[in-house]
Structure 1
């Protein structure tokens, strides 16, 4: 096994310089840092992570809490956080709360037991007070897709209300007046904010809000077929549906087909998220782009900046959704 001493001899630097380079110390001159990493590559040196952790009082790991381990939302988020962390020689330990309060608490306890240096959190179930307590014990923490005023600098979030508004504004501009809405779980702040955006767009255009045109669904696939059927059975004059994510929109495509309705002709549908598959649906889905990759990168950058103390570009905290216009909305003008 190659040792630090051999790396130092190959690079013609001291062993302490090798150690400081491995730990990312800014005191190491750039020419020496290059020598060290060239030597590591040439010799195939593998740092002992346990020894590094003991020496630096760091685990070189970041804990990540997600709602679930499946689906098109959390997968890309986990991937981009992990990719950013690897570039700084950190590893990510991921735990899912399965959208249950007790399991989210257990996940946080588990991640702490692994002595993680920082945390990336996505949580709908934990109370603000719970998260503030977490931040108190692990300062290098970032909260994704949620805003808490007391830790505003540590929140990376999307303007969901604006996203709902631009979705429904677009449908109205295309001539639709009777617009249904299938929400995600209303226990989630994303759903409530997007619903408020729906209401804002209607009010701005002088259209009365009708509770009969709103049905609660889920961001995953569970039970959305019955939610779509209930909405379609309530009103035959409806010409468009705002689906609060692309999963719901996909289900709406299937239910419309069952009922002999052609999406983009008899019924217009707009989604939210711009998942990878949305462009391949038939017809391709008009949707609101959720800058998920950017959110993950910004969140990881915040935590890594806190841990490495390296200067980075300013963190963008409030991200803006944008309209992706495709073929699922008919122009009635």
Structure 2
């Protein structure tokens, strides 16, 4: 295997010159760049990425922490991050946290140890204090779908409470007063915020929901099926269901159809996220749009700006003021909600 010394000998330059060419130093002449590049190609030499990182204190890699890469929600998020990363000549290093504090911590430390100076972090289990500490260590770290007041300028978040409030209010405006809620059993802030949005919308319209109107399950189709089955078993007079997300709503729909209840004629149903599945259910699912693509793009742009600013020897201009830090969800009306007669 060829070494940097072999490249220097073939190109008839010093090892230091080869190093300057590899690290894109402005001190490298055009002649040196041409000679070294040709020598590297002739020898099949590939620069050691770790060695280059030691010199530059960074890599061409942007680190990303997600909950579970197999979840389509995170797939959409990663694709948007990758689109921006490629514009900056970067590639992604991705780790799964599975909404577990130990796993999230291990991934972040791995990304930092791999000299990723730009990080997009979707963490739901680590404490605010620990994330603040990581943010101090990595100036180019941005949180997505998480808001921490102390580092608010490094957070891109969604108003989950508002989204759930809108979903429940839509059902109320269609005449429904007995509204069930299918809730995630994950102990994360999204769960609490969306459940509270449902309760607050009911309260604002002088309605109440007994605890028996709320059922829990894993935030996927199976969890939705289990929660809906348990809700039906109680024989309570609900005429509409608000679900934590579209996948739980899909599970609800399956159980309702299996029990001879048609949506929306006998039961209105609304989801959350506006994932790809929402458009292909039957009936098409009314839901709340979670603009994860644009949020991920802005998080990546912000992370690059922060990382660049940290490297400047002199003060830089203010960060892009067009970046939105808190997004507001919107209703997507389709065919699974109807007026109660």
TM bracket, shorter-chain basis: 0.7 to 0.9
Cross-structure match for 1:314: 322
- Write out aligned runs for 1:175-324 (5 A): 175-309=175-309, 312=320, 314-324=322-332
* CA deviation string 1:53-87 (max 9, x = no partner): 45533212211111111112111111111111111
Cross-structure match for 1:325: 333
Cross-structure match for 2:165: 165
* CA deviation string 1:209-256 (max 9, x = no partner): 321101122223443322111112223421100001000000001000
TM-score between both structures, scaled by the size of structure 2: 0.82
TM-fit CA distance, 1:184:
1.4
Separation (CA, whole Å) in 1 of partners of 2:251 and 2:167: 18
Contact 1:285–1:328 under 8 Å retained in 2: yes
Name stretches of at least 5 consecutive residues in structure 2 with no aligned partner: 1-6, 12-19, 27-32, 310-315
- Write out aligned runs for 1:147-166 (5 A): 147-166=147-166
Between 156-165 and 180-189, report the one with greater CA deviation: 180-189
Contact 2:243–2:272 under 8 Å retained in 1: yes
Contact 2:158–2:327 under 8 Å retained in 1: yes
Contact 1:186–1:216 under 8 Å retained in 2: no
Greater Cα radius of gyration, structure 1 or 2: 2
Cross-structure match for 1:124: 124
- For residue 305 of structure 1, give the secondary structure of its aligned residue in structure 2: helix
- For residue 169 of structure 2, give the secondary structure of its aligned residue in structure 1: helix
Contact 1:182–1:228 under 8 Å retained in 2: yes
- Write out aligned runs for 1:59-138 (5 A): 59-138=59-138
Cross-structure match for 2:24: 19
Separation (CA, whole Å) in 2 of partners of 1:155 and 1:259: 44
TM-fit CA distance, 1:20:
6.2
TM-fit CA distance, 1:329:
0.6
Separation (CA, whole Å) in 2 of partners of 1:90 and 1:20: 18
Contact 1:272–1:289 under 8 Å retained in 2: yes
- For residue 107 of structure 1, give the secondary structure of its aligned residue in structure 2: helix
CA RMSD of aligned residues (A): 3.0
Between 229-238 and 188-197, report the one with greater CA deviation: 229-238
TM-score between both structures, scaled by the size of structure 1: 0.84
Contact 1:60–1:117 under 8 Å retained in 2: no
TM-fit CA distance, 1:107:
1.2
Cross-structure match for 1:27: none
Aligned length: 306
Between 93-102 and 48-57, report the one with greater CA deviation: 48-57
